[in-house]
Structure formats: structure tokens, C-alpha cells
Amino acid sequence: MKILVCIRQGLDGEINPFDACAYEEALKVKNAEVILLSMGPQSAKDFLLRLTRLGAKKAILLSDKVFAGADTLATAYTLSLAVKKINPDLVFCGRQTLVGDTAQTGPMLSVLAQTQLITNVMSIDEIGETVTCTTRDNGIQTVTLPALLTIERINNLRLPSIMSKLGEVEVWSAEDIGADKEKCGLAGSPTRVVKTFQNESGKRKCKFITDNELPQVISEALKKQNEDIVKTQLSSQKLSKVFIVGEGPRPFAETVSDDITILPLTNAEDLAQKITELKPNAVLWGSDSLSKKVSAQVGAMLGLGLCADCTLLETDGEELYMYRPALSGSVIAKIVSCTKPAMATVRTTQNASDVVVAAGYGARDFLDLVKAFADKIGADMATTRKAVDNDILPYNMQVGLTGKTVSPPVYIAVGVSGAVHHIAGMQRAGTVIAINPDKDAPIFDYADYGILGDAREVLK
């Protein structure tokens, strides 16, 4: 069994956290030959060499100046040539990188390398002629080999043992993999960043209230009919023939078009065919895991740019301008697509209830109280990464950059400090209420209402 693990070096020089989980899962497979694959500058050679100490005998670095500036499609194209050359049984990728944060490269790579695909893997249950995995949102799935799996943050990468040996690192150029230079790097990237600016989105003016006012604030917020932030930013020019896949992206589509057609979210082959036949100007997708997977597959099938997780759209009647948070949410990038139709996933809601109660690490000693409060008001529960990392609540509840995105009409943050990584996952909520005894907690900068106090007292 040959397992190829795709690795990206983060801006901090360390392995991307999701890729670390993919590597650990590969190392756990008995009798597997594990090979690492990365695209990056020559300097990444040492980084890969260090990683071989954990068990991979070999690492391949794709390094060539024509690879620079690649978006997800150009990256997937380049990686796919190496995958074909190595011919593994399984390819493991992290769900997403923290730099790009799109979750597109894995699904695109599976199309271009012609493998089966399972995304958002929470556990690998069986490997033989087929591979069976439990996924985060779409149950248990089985596919035949060769297959590509995108792995969630489900484990911790082992440390090297004292006895461990270094493997070898090979550096492959564009020529070594027979790459068409027009399809690599910046030249082969259909999406272009036009501009970046500081991300101030999500910031709100917090009004402090007392415990007694909480029920009334919640019920008034619910009555406000989920006014969507995006609806207040209508473009004056309109784009014709915009397709939405599923109902989720409609509020975004309405900001840029009066000519909207809905397509059901079926499979990538059908949707690619419809888009080719009907030639829309733009196609908008939701940001649930299935939409993300299928949109990336369609992007790879049709060679189209795909901008991930847009929080705002604009048009001048010709181009679609897509705005998305980048670099852990610290900046906003304005992006256009050089290919038509322009395609984007937009931050749609993934919550079932109108109210989400997030219990952060600060609520760890009185979780029962928070749960009882959530039950009483019919709310879904969510949490932060710190609570997940400390085994307080499960990963599928984690909201944020490395968790899921929610945008319920009401979001109540209990014992949540408001780190930028958490805010990235909830900043489009309708009304945000924070309960925290620390008046300097950043969460109050992102809340409409705040209760300054011990949540144990407030919720009892």
C-alpha cells in the first residue's frame, strides 16, 4: 500500500495543522509506504527532511519558479502530475490550509489525478480494495482505490523518536513532471487578487445589558427577521444570468443580480454539464461541506476559477468582484476570475436552529448549566477550539477558522474570549450576545449586546 501525503508549509514554517493530521493517519496504516509531497520553494527541502524523521522514507518537493503564485486550480494541476507519476493507492490531504483556507485543493486534485474522493474524514475505518471512512457531515462513505481523502483535525502528529532516521528528499521541476507551464503558477491561475485590505468586518458596537434583559433581547433579535448583512450592500449595476446551487446563496446572488436561476445540488458531472450548456455569467455555491466539495470538482472539470468563502459580492455589470477573508481572517482580499462563469462559494449558514449558544473554555466548569439554557431556548450548541483541544466538547461543534461557519439570527457566546480565529466562523450571525466577566475580552468588539459577569450567575 503506497500512501502519498500532501503537505504544505505554513507561514510560521510549521506543517499546516490539517496536513499534520493527514500525515499521522498515513503513519497509522500498517505496512504502508508513506511518501510526502509538497509544492514550495527550495527552502522547504529542510522542512520536508525534518518531517521524514517521523516515518516517511521519502519526500518529494515540487519546486520551480513557474509554480509560484498558484491558486488552488494551478496547485491541484501541478500536484496531479506528481500523483500520476508516483501512482499511489491513496492520497491524503489536510482538509484545508490555514494560508489559503479554501478546502478546494483536495477535491480539485482528485478530479485531475482521477481518483475517488472522500472529504472531511473524521476516521478511516477500513482499507483494502476499498476505503471506508466516517465523515464529518455526510455519514460513512466507501470508495474504491485509488482514492483521495481530505482529513479533519482528528489527531496529533507524533514526535520523532530518538532512534529515528532521516529519509531522502527529491526535488522535481516542471520538466520532471511534464508540466504545461501555462497551467502552472500565476499563469495557470484563473483567480486574481485585485486588492487586499484590513478586515474590520464583524466588528459591532456593544451595548451592555443586565441579566434580566437577556430574554427580551433574544426574543427581539429573533423577531428582526434575520436581516442579512449582505442585503444592505446592493450593487447599483446588475449581472445577468447568475446561477445558484441550492437556496443558500440566494441572499448573496440578490445583491448582484435580478436574473437568478437555481440548480439543485446534485453531482459534479451533472452540474458541470449544465453549466457548460447554459453558460451563466456566475455560479454561486453554499459553504456547507458538500457544496465546497462539488464546486471544487466542477472547477477542476471545467478549468474554472473558484473563489472560496466569500463574505461580500459586487459587480459593475460585467465582472463579479468577490471579497473573502484571508490570512486567518486578518485581511480581506478582493478577487476576480479570469475564466467565465465566475464561481464562488459564499458563507452560507450551517445551523439548524435560530439560536446558537457557544460554550467556550471559560464555561468548562458549568457546561450542564449552559446546555440546560440552550435546551430551554431551543438553541444548538457550539464551541471554541480551546474547549475542543481540552476534550470539553466535540470537534464537530467547533466554530471558527479550523471549525465550521455558522450565521444564525442569534449567537450567544458564553465564556468565549473572541479570538480572531473564532470570529471568522460566526461574524455573520444576526445578533451577537456575549457573556464574559472580562470587560477587555475581544468578544465584546464583535457583540451587539454584552453582559459583564460570571455566566454561572447569569444563566442560572
In terms of CB distance, is 249 or 403 closer to ligand FAD?
Answer: 403
In terms of CB distance, is 293 or 385 closer to ligand FAD?
Answer: 385
In terms of CB distance, is 94 or 167 closer to ligand FAD?
Answer: 94
Nearest approach, Cβ of residue 447 and ligand FAD (Å): 12
Distance separating the N- and C-terminal Cα atoms of the chain: 55
Nearest approach, Cβ of residue 404 and ligand FAD (Å): 8
* Backbone CA torsion sign across 112, 117, 121, 124: negative
In terms of CB distance, is 167 or 360 closer to ligand FAD?
Answer: 360
The Cα-based distances of 382 to 70, 295, 354, 405 in angstroms read: 35, 26, 13, 10
Nearest approach, Cβ of residue 99 and ligand FAD (Å): 10
In terms of CB distance, is 122 or 416 closer to ligand FAD?
Answer: 416
Nearest approach, Cβ of residue 439 and ligand FAD (Å): 9
Amino acid identity of residue 149, one-letter, is L
Half-sphere exposure of 451 (CA within 13 A, CB side): 21
d(C-alpha 32, C-alpha 164), whole Å:
17
- Cβ-contact 75, 261 below 8 angstroms: no
Nearest approach, Cβ of residue 343 and ligand FAD (Å): 25
Question: Which residue sits closest to ligand FAD, CB atoms considered?
Answer: 362
In terms of CB distance, is 90 or 419 closer to ligand FAD?
Answer: 419
- Cβ-contact 381, 414 below 8 angstroms: no
d(C-alpha 154, C-alpha 144), whole Å:
23
- Cβ-contact 450, 418 below 8 angstroms: no
Give the list of residues 6+ apart from residue 12 with CB closer than 8 angstroms, or none: none
The angle subtended at Cα 403 by Cα 442 and Cα 353, nearest 5°, is 85
In terms of CB distance, is 337 or 383 closer to ligand FAD?
Answer: 383
Nearest approach, Cβ of residue 12 and ligand FAD (Å): 9
d(C-alpha 76, C-alpha 85), whole Å:
14
Nearest approach, Cβ of residue 262 and ligand FAD (Å): 31
Of 98, 155, 157, which is closest to residue 124 (Cα–Cα)?
Answer: 155
* Backbone CA torsion sign across 382, 388, 391, 396: positive
In terms of CB distance, is 16 or 297 closer to ligand FAD?
Answer: 16
Q: Which residues of 293-314 are buried (b: 16+ CB within 10 A; e: fewer)?
A: bbbbbbbbbbebbbbbbbbbbb
Nearest approach, Cβ of residue 296 and ligand FAD (Å): 20
Partners of 195 in the β-ladder: 334
d(C-alpha 34, C-alpha 14), whole Å:
19
Nearest approach, Cβ of residue 454 and ligand FAD (Å): 4
In terms of CB distance, is 33 or 211 closer to ligand FAD?
Answer: 211
DSSP code, position 234: -
In terms of CB distance, is 255 or 407 closer to ligand FAD?
Answer: 407
d(C-alpha 379, C-alpha 134), whole Å:
26
Q: Which residues of 34-68 are buried (b: 16+ CB within 10 A; e: fewer)?
A: bbbbbbbeeebbebbbebbebbbebbbbbbbebbe
Residues that bind ligand FAD (CB under 6 A): 98, 360-362, 384-387, 398-403, 414-417, 419, 421-422, 425, 435-438, 441, 454-456
Nearest approach, Cβ of residue 375 and ligand FAD (Å): 19
In terms of CB distance, is 274 or 385 closer to ligand FAD?
Answer: 385
Nearest approach, Cβ of residue 16 and ligand FAD (Å): 9
